[in-house]
Amino acid sequence: MKRELSELDRLDLAARAQVTEAVAAYARVAMIVVSVFTVLLAFGSEASFYETLVSIKHSLTFVSNYFLAFAPWRDLDYRSSF
């Protein structure tokens, strides 16, 4: 059951959306820094072969999570690929 929002509720919802957008922008910058740092650590590693593979896997996971988290999902149309 959907209720009608009052003007105060709509203004509150708009303010929360703007704050969330600002927090997401800071999270994006933090994720870029962490991703670049892990990629540099992975390729500059002097550890054993398996430890290097694990660090490369972790860096690829960070980078893919970054792209998945901030992809414009509303703009992607899955039907256009068929």
| Residue 81 falls inside a structural domain | no
Distance CA 73, CA 65 (A): 14
Contacts of 5 (CB under 8 A, 6+ apart): 13
| Residue 13 falls inside a structural domain | no
| Residue 9 falls inside a structural domain | no
Domain count, the chain: 1
| Residue 21 falls inside a structural domain | no
pLDDT in tens, 19-67: 777 777 788 888 888 888 888 888 787 888 888 888 888 888 888 887 7
Domain that holds residue 41: 26-69
DSSP class of residue 4 equals P
CA angle 38, 44, 50 (to 5 degrees): 85
pTM of the model: 0.54
| Residue 4 falls inside a structural domain | no
| Residue 42 falls inside a structural domain | yes
| Residue 40 falls inside a structural domain | yes
